[in-house]
Amino acid sequence: MKALKVLCVSVLLPATSLAGVKAKSWDFNTARDFNTTEKIDLASMRRAVFSNKYSFEKRWASVSKFASVLSPFQRKEFLIECMNVEEWFIKSPALKIMKQEDKVLALKWARKLLKEDKALVVRSDAVAIINDLRDEDSADLLWEELFARKNFKGSSSLWIRPQIVKALRRLDRNPKKAKWESLLADSDPKIKTQARLHLKATNF
């Protein structure tokens, strides 16, 4: 009778419900996709994300694949875990998923990663999220990071700097004319162009 009850529960509950039973322990091994009747090996999918035995291409793809089969609570925990690893190819896709799942949390991590992360790709993703979500509160941080040493290679401007200026054109609600005029002397021609367009548009 007990075995029959267990069988009934496993048939009636969707995969995400089964997965959510032990959300924080990660000690479940399989769930079932009732659209395909295929068992999902969660433990193997998780290893494909975090194990360095796999190529970065597989690990990158595995982030979204694994996130898609988790319960909402598990998915949030998983994405936060991804933010705390070193590999850029884990953080980058996880940050983009987080933007769709929880905008407040995504902005929190975008600000942190823009300021602290070593990977240019991750910092660029962070700027894109701040811009897409129209986070005007990040304007001061964007100005700071525009001149951060890590966003240069030698004396050359990295691609993130014009991206930051483009975001500032949208998000800087209290623009200082002197700040924007100073960008006309920047070594990056793309930044000069953005500054010129902004000064013309704002009619200081």
**The three-state (H, E, C) secondary structure of 41-110, written as one string:** EHHHHHHHHHCCCCCHHHHHHHHHHHHHCCCHHHHHHHHHHHHCCCCHHHHHHHHHHHHHHCHHHHHHHH
Measured CA distances, 185 to 164, 176, 190, 194 (Å): 16, 16, 11, 12
75 and 163 belong to one structural domain: no
**Is 180 in a helix, a strand, or coil?**
helix
Reading the block at residue 37, the tokens are 């009747």
pLDDT digits (tens), the chain, 204 positions: 444 443 333 333 333 333 333 334 444 344 444 344 345 789 999 999 999 999 999 999 999 999 999 999 999 999 999 999 999 999 999 999 999 999 999 999 999 999 999 999 999 999 999 999 999 999 999 999 999 999 999 999 999 999 999 999 999 998 899 999 999 999 999 999 999 999 999 876
Please tell me the total count of domains within the chain: 2
Which domain covers residue 159, as residue numbers?
A: 103-204
31 with 75, same domain?
yes
Same domain, yes or no: 116 and 162:
yes
Q: What pTM, to 2 d.p., does this model score? A: 0.80
86 and 153 share a domain?
no
Based on the fold, state whether residues 37 and 61 are members of the same structural domain.
yes
- Does residue 187 sit in helix, strand or coil? coil
Q: Which of 61, 84, 101 is the C-terminal boundary of a domain?
A: 101
Chain-centroid distance of CA 144 in Å reads: 20
